[in-house]
Amino acid sequence: MNQKSVEVFIPGPAGRLEGRYYKNEKEKSPIAIVLQPHPQYSGTMNNRVVLEIFNSFLSSGFSVLRINFRGVGKSDGTFDNGQGELSDAAAALDWIERENQDFSQCWVSGFSFGSLICMQLIMRRPEVTRFISVSPQPNVYDFTFLAPCPISGQIIIGEKDELVSKESINELSARLKNQKGIEVNFEEIKNGNHFFKNKEANLRKVIDQYIKDKTQIM
């Protein structure tokens, strides 16, 4: 089977959004979107970690979309400090849902800045069933909006993340573990930094296993 993504342009609130999309032809396939790291720090949808997440969903039987936020690559618009990027992510979710109206599950994921947008999006979209948040930065961004976190998911951090304090991660973990009815798995990649340099295979293994455990693809 030829498992290659294709270039797409989808309507966004600031103009067109550039994306890469893989369509699984199986009926009722689950869907996922993957969100990029910070646009002002060279983040794009072709970031290595984004690609690992994208390919994990692809190989797990999902229809999956990754996008460049406004002002990145061929996407129209300019950086909007997170508010516009959240609207871009919502537009991406709208698009993949229209393309897959019989989807069985809906996942949202993101890396670094993208993990913040991911977590904000799940607060607004009740159809999302699960999330994967990689290298969130609760010491940089305020995650108290997760009150409560509406769905279960996975948070992956590097043991030696140079951009995130252990204290902030511990506080986030404690807050989420106190919530009833959801389960957020915290996974730490040994010797991994914020970008999982030379640890991409370890990261991929953790993501693959979580998706496998939490999906029942017929």
Within the chain, where are the H helices?
Answer: 48-59, 83-99, 113-124, 166-177, 200-214
Q: How far is CA 81 from CA 99, 116, 117, in A?
A: 29, 12, 11
Mean pLDDT of 151-173: 97
Mean pLDDT of 206-215: 96
Residue ranges of domains in the chain, CATH in brackets: 6-214 (3.40.50.1820)
Mean pLDDT of 96-116: 98
Taking the model in full, what pTM does it have? 0.96
Q: Is the pLDDT of residue 1 over 70?
A: no
Mean pLDDT of 183-208: 98
Q: Is the pLDDT of residue 217 over 60?
A: no
Q: Is 91 left (phi over 0), alpha (psi -120 to 50) or beta?
A: alpha
- pLDDT tens for 8-59 read 999 999 999 999 999 999 999 999 999 999 999 999 999 999 999 999 999 9
Confidence label for 2 from pLDDT (cuts 50, 70 and 90)? low
d(CA 113, CA 194): 11
pLDDT value of residue 218 = 40
What mean pLDDT value characterizes the chain? Answer: 96
d(CA 184, CA 81): 27
